Amino acid sequence: MKRIVFVFATIVLLSYSLLLSADYKGPHPETNQGAAAMVFTYTPFQSNIGSAGAGYAYATDQIIAPIPGIGLKAFISDRLSLGFAVGLGLVSSTPDKSTDMSTSETLLGLSIDCNSHFKPLYGISPYFGGNINFGYYDKGTKVESGGNKTETSTSGLIIGIGPQLGFDWYFTDGIALGAKYTLTFLYCPEPSKETKTNSNTTTVDGDSRIKLSTGNATFTLTVHM
């Protein structure tokens, strides 16, 4: 037992002396060209980790946000990064025996970040940039009753753009916790609702909408590959 403790203590002391001799200054932000990472979201002071936000969707009279997606980030040059988040959702149901109704939903989202990183401050990499995102939502229902068939389709598109300011804190090599603050401008073109009963088709367009959010805060977890 004493021998194991002695060996372990020797390894620790040697490692510490090597760090001192190399003038180790702690984790350094990975912002050089070629660096790539996966991006997640998280809630501070909790253990849950979520997907990256891939834009928003507009359905009839409500904004669906955010669309969950897969987030990636790559540095195309030193201190200049491009981030992508792509989301896809497909839901369908078989006809309900009591109502003979089946439903299907499609959700698509794409978010693009372009950020310029300032000179790192110890393990912190502050940045400034912009975001543009697109989202699409479609829901369809089909009801068959008494020889009649009614199909309803509701769809909506949303486009968002805005500047953002944030930082990444590399608390260890290759992994960073961060936060960003985005000024969001959203434009929702007129959503449409189409109803088809047998051979009759009617289309109703909803109201277009413009939304300006004074700020949308997002907490991120970046894991380099």
The CATH number covering residue 47 comes to 2.40.128
Cβ–Cβ under 8 Å, residues 77 and 84: no
Locate 158 and state its tokens.
Answer: 């949303």
| 3-class DSSP state of 108 | strand
Please report, for residues 32, 86, 94, 125, 152, the alpha-carbon distance to residue 80 in angstroms, rounded to integers and kept in the order given.
Answer: 8, 20, 48, 12, 46
Q: How many domains does the chain have?
A: 1
d(CA 11, CA 182) in angstroms, rounded, equals: 46
- At 66, is the secondary structure helix, strand, or coil? coil
DSSP state of 206: -
Per-residue pLDDT tens, the chain, 225 aa: give them: 445 444 444 544 555 555 455 555 667 888 888 899 999 887 776 666 777 777 777 665 566 667 778 889 999 999 899 999 888 877 777 666 666 777 788 888 888 999 999 988 888 999 999 989 888 888 877 877 766 777 777 777 888 888 999 999 998 888 999 989 888 888 877 777 777 777 777 777 777 777 777 667 888 889 998
For tokens 């007129």, name the residue.
190
Domain of residue 164: give its range: 2-224
Distance between CA 66 and CA 41 in Å, rounded?
11
Q: What is the pTM of this model?
A: 0.74
Both tokens of residue 1? 């037992």
CA distance 182 to 216: 5
Q: Which residue has the tokens 């180790």?
A: 24
| Positive or negative: CA dihedral 90, 86, 188, 183 | positive
